[in-house]
Amino acid sequence: MRNGWTGGQISLVRVAFALPLVFVGACGPLAATRGVEAVLSLALLIVGVLFLCGAYVRVLAGLYLAFAVWSTPGVRSLWSDAPIPVAGVTSASWVVGLAFFSVVLLLPRAPYGSWPARGRVDPGGGWEFPRWLFAGVWVFWIAFHVATAARELAEWRASGAELGALAWLELELQALFVIFVWSRRTRAWAWLALVAWSVASVRADATDVSFSPTTVVLIALTFDPAWIPSRAAQVALPRLDALSIPRPPADARPIAPTRTDAQPIASRSDPRGARPIVFFDGGCALCHGFVRFALAEDREGTRLRFAPLGGATAERELAAHAPLCDDERELGVHAPLCDSVVADGEVLVRSRAVVRVLEALGGLWRIAAWFVQLPPAAWSDDVYDFVAARRKRWFAPPKSACPLLPPEIARRLDA
């Protein structure tokens, strides 16, 4: 099954899974009444931090699976609610835990955003969610729902009692899931039925399978980010510019004046297509990191193009649209110092430029762009300005104007 998962999006899911572990592990020793509880909380904190960084996750998954196999004889019935040798865990949630950590063990290592991926030349590293593994997650949920529905119906017939409205709702959602999952066109509806089943089956008992973090993440892994297309893939965009004037490196040929309120990132629509061109500060390490992130998440290389502000592309594409300002007359160069409007498009600056890039990437990043736009634009711009004013103090300057990239990816950068 084809899917739109990228390394960065998988890292988002990993972080969402790890943060509660870190929080519970950090607060556990404060509420612990016995030494063993404090030790377990510390172990949970260590596991959460490792998951947060994406380090040794396969080792942790392997240890979990080994313990699960060792404790399997204690499970009295695979699909019943009989307790197993771990306090507060039922056999159904144990099965989901086995499936979740099996997926973690089988996923390719070092997705973008993980500790093992730091410093590599290719930011994406060719990471993909294997099609067979993605299909396997769906097959697991199909088998799980068929088995649990069969068990619930058998228990209902044996007891002779009538099913309540909530029980009928759960069975209907399970049936919808199994029906819709077989067609690519209706698979998104099958996923919504899966989520609705999880919400409907939440009970007061926190050990219920639908309430466990592993269940939530495993359901999230059946989501296909390709269901949320990029903005560039939906419509032919007009010319859009997000222009910024950084402080140029000392040895660079200036095409823009020095300004203390300069912004590091800019984007403009590509006249050769609908792809925005992201203009970035070649002397800013943070901007290099943002470019590497966008390159890693745009696996096909069809959504964005990039060019340093100190290069020929920026001089050619931007100078013709910028009026001369007082500071520019002193340097004799063209560059838009202020927010301006291009003749056939709109200027995007600061947080709006970041939002436009996230929208172009699509998937979970487009959802992130929606969250970025929730607060007033002035607030987002203030945060952007705060970071932009300090970026060169917080991050060491890069050695070159363009990030170090393999040749097949470097071709997506214009000079």
pLDDT in tens, 44-79: 899 999 999 999 999 989 988 887 777 654 444 444
**Tokens (6 digits) for 203:** 């009970």
- What's the number of domains the chain is made of? 2
Task: Looking at the structure, tell me whether residues 150 and 241 fall in a common domain.
Answer: no
Residues 239 and 223 in one domain: no
Q: How far apart are CA 101 and CA 103, in angstroms?
A: 5
Claim to verify: residue 191 and residue 338 sit in the same structural domain:
no
pTM over 0.85: no
> Tokens for 147?
């088995």
256 and 366 share a domain?
A: yes
Q: Do 37 and 126 fall into the same domain?
A: yes
Sign of the dihedral through C-alpha 271, 275, 276, 278: negative
Question: Where do we find the tokens 């068929």?
Answer: 146
pLDDT at res. 207: 41
Give the dihedral sign, CA 201/205/208/212.
positive
* CA torsion angle 339 341 347 350 (round to 10): 10
pLDDT of 344: 29
pLDDT at residue 137 greater than cutoff 90? yes
**Please, what is the angle between helix 131-159 and helix 91-106, to 10°?**
170
Write out the two tokens for 117. 């991926």
Q: Quick check: is 99 in a domain?
A: yes
Q: Does residue 222 sit in the same domain as residue 243?
A: no
Q: Tell me: do 203 and 150 sit in the same domain.
A: yes
Both 118 and 163 in a single domain?
A: yes
360 touches 231 (CB < 8 A)? yes
Give domain status of residue 415, yes or no.
Answer: no
- Does the structure show a pLDDT above 60 at 212? yes
Same-domain status, 164 and 284: no
Residue 242 lies in a domain: yes
What is the three-class DSSP state of 235?
coil
The larger pLDDT score, comparing residue 166 to residue 181, is at: 181
Residue 48 within a domain: yes
Tokens of 142: 């199909």
Whether residue 287 contacts residue 280, with contact meaning beta carbons closer than 8 Å, is answered with: yes
- Which residue's structure tokens are 């490792």? 50
Q: For 185-203, how does the pLDDT look when each residue is reduced to its tens digit (9 = 90+)?
A: 899 999 998 888 777 766 5
Residue 1 lies in a domain: no
Give a yes or no: residue 385 inside a domain: yes
Same domain, 70 and 116: yes
Q: Which of 183, 208, 227 delimits the end of a domain?
A: 227
Whether the Cβ atoms of residue 15 and residue 48 lie closer than 8 Å to each other: no
Q: Which residues contact 150 (CB under 8 A, 6 or more apart)?
A: none
Residue 273: pLDDT above 70?
A: no
- Edge to edge, what strands does the sheet with 265-269 contain? 305-308, 276-280, 265-269, 239-241, 345-347
- CB 127 within 8 Å of CB 6: yes
Residue/partner pairs of 67-76 with CB below 8 Å, 24 or more apart: 68/94, 68/97, 68/98, 68/101
Looking at the structure, do residues 111 and 184 belong to the same domain, yes or no? yes
Between CA 294 and CA 368 the distance in angstroms is 14
If asked whether residues 384 and 262 sit together in one domain, one would say yes
For 368, other C-beta atoms within 10 Å of its C-beta total 17
Q: What is the mean pLDDT of residues 143-164?
A: 77
What is the pLDDT confidence band of residue 228, given thresholds at 50, 70 and 90?
Answer: very high
Query: Residue 261 sits in which domain range?
Result: 231-410
Boundary (domain end) residue, out of 196, 227, 258? 227
Q: pLDDT value at position 326? A: 39
The pLDDT-based confidence of 253 (bands split at 50, 70, 90) is very low
Query: Cα–chain-centroid distance for residue 110?
Result: 14
Does some domain include residue 2? Answer: no
* Residue 342, in any domain of the structure: yes
- Among residues 208, 227, 246, the one where a domain terminates is 227
Q: Lowest mean pLDDT of 75-79, 86-90, 343-347, name the range.
A: 343-347
Give the pLDDT band (50/70/90) at residue 415: confident
Closest CA to 272 of 226, 224, 313, 230: 313
- pLDDT band at 377; cut points 50, 70, 90: confident
